[in-house]
Amino acid sequence: MSRKYNLLITSILILLVFIFFSFVLFNKSENKKVDTKYNEGRVIDKNNQIYNYLKDDKKNIVHFWATWCSACAQEHEFLKEYIKKNKDVNLISVLFKDDISNVDFKNIKELYQFNINDSNGFIALDFGVSGVPESFILDNKGKVLKHIIGSINNGELK
Amino acid sequence: MKKLLLLFVLVFFKITSFASIQPVDFEDNTQLDLYNKIINNIKCVVCQAQSIVDSDTDFSRSMQALIVMQIKEKKSEQEITSYITDRYGDKVLLNPPVDTKTYLLWFMPIGICLVLAVITFKNLKKLL
């Protein structure tokens, strides 16, 4: 009786530990995107000039990257090929906490339709970015359809 | 003796890095208290169980600057915390709220401790 009882208690304990760790490790709650100033599709420069970067007839992708990020450099090669094959893409660059003089604009000229410099990282925080590379697929009103953490690949852009 | 002294220092003196704390100029101490309260409850999402005060990452520094900006714009603790959790989820808080999503997280350890206590109690005679 005592042995059966101990076995039962041990099983319950293992089950509880399993449930606890499953909850901690796999509980990925969806980030809400509300009242976000920048992903409405507008940015304001130092002279208070407002720019709209979203296009109605295209797939809008906001891409956070930096020159110091090696994964981003590899990703640029993939994106160049992707843009050549998919003309309906509006790719927006957000340079994350970087010195703009480090950017080789000749290299990315054909890649991005719009360039934003996020020197203090506030635009990234407003989107809920934790590091680069990260990308967001937005509809023409700025609603986030997909949040891609890490490098983009073909499967994620479908 | 030296080993004992070293042990004493390691046990009783917490070594904390203040490298990431930026000097902040607030209007009054209420704002400073609010700032300290918020930054001590926000987790650095690119670190392991560290608050944005304890880590020196770009993320932590940007988040600190953003909080300073929002406090200076006279936003309340609730508004600032909501702004952050809306974007990063409750997992960004070091002290997440107790709700239906976090019941297990809060009470499961107590359950495990209770089960362990029952096992220990039942086997007390054998152990003694």
For A125, nearest residue in chain B (alpha carbons): B63
Whether residue B120 is found in the same domain as residue B70: no
Residue showing tokens 């070091």: B94
Q: What residues in B contact A13, CB-CB < 8 Å? A: 112, 115-116, 119
Whether residue B109 is found in the same domain as residue B57: no
Chain center to CA of A12: 40
Whether residue B49 is found in the same domain as residue B82: yes
Whether residue B62 is found in the same domain as residue B117: no
| Strand-strand pairing, A144-149 and A89-96 | unpaired
Does the ipTM exceed 0.85?
Answer: no
Give CA separation, B102 vs A94, B85, B90, in Å: 35, 15, 10
Show the domain range for B127.
99-128
Whether residue B29 is found in the same domain as residue B88: yes
**pLDDT at residue A32, as a whole number:** 47
Residue showing tokens 């704002």: B31
* Burial (CB count within 10 angstroms: exposed 0-12, middle 13-18, buried 19+), residue A132: buried
Q: Do A108 and A50 touch, CB atoms closer than 8 A? A: no
Rg of the Cα atoms in chain A? 22
Whether residue B39 is found in the same domain as residue B82: yes
**pLDDT at residue A4, as a whole number:** 76
Q: CATH number for the domain including B14?
A: 1.10.8.640
Cα–Cα distance for residue pair B123/B117, rounded to 1 Å: 10
Residues in a beta bridge with A138: A60, A144
Residue showing tokens 């509006």: A90
Which residue type sits at A120? N
Range from A20-24, A71-75, A125-129, B111-115 carrying the lowest mean pLDDT: A20-24
Question: How does DSSP classify residue A90?
Answer: E
**pTM of the predicted model, to two decimals?**
0.73
pLDDT band at A34 (very low <50, low <70, confident <90, very high): very low
Cα–Cα distance for residue pair A113/A67, rounded to 1 Å: 18
Closest Cα in chain B, distance from residue A6 (Å): 7
- Which residues of chain B approach chain A closer than 8 Å at the C-beta? 45-46, 58-59, 61-63, 65-66, 69, 83, 86-91, 101, 104-105, 108-109, 111-112, 115-116, 118-119, 122-123
Element (H, E) at B3: helix B2-12
Whether residue B26 is found in the same domain as residue B38: yes
pLDDT per residue, tens digit, chain B (128 aa), is 677 777 777 766 655 555 455 677 888 899 999 999 999 999 999 888 899 999 988 899 999 999 999 999 999 999 999 999 988 888 899 988 888 777 777 888 888 888 888 888 888 777 66
Give the CATH number of domain A38-157: 3.40.30.10
Q: What residues in A contact B87, CB-CB < 8 Å? A: 31-33, 36, 125-128
How many DSSP H helices and E strands does chain B contain?
6, 0
Whether residue B11 is found in the same domain as residue B34: yes
The total number of structural domains that make up chain B: 2
Q: Do A138 and A144 touch, CB atoms closer than 8 A? A: yes
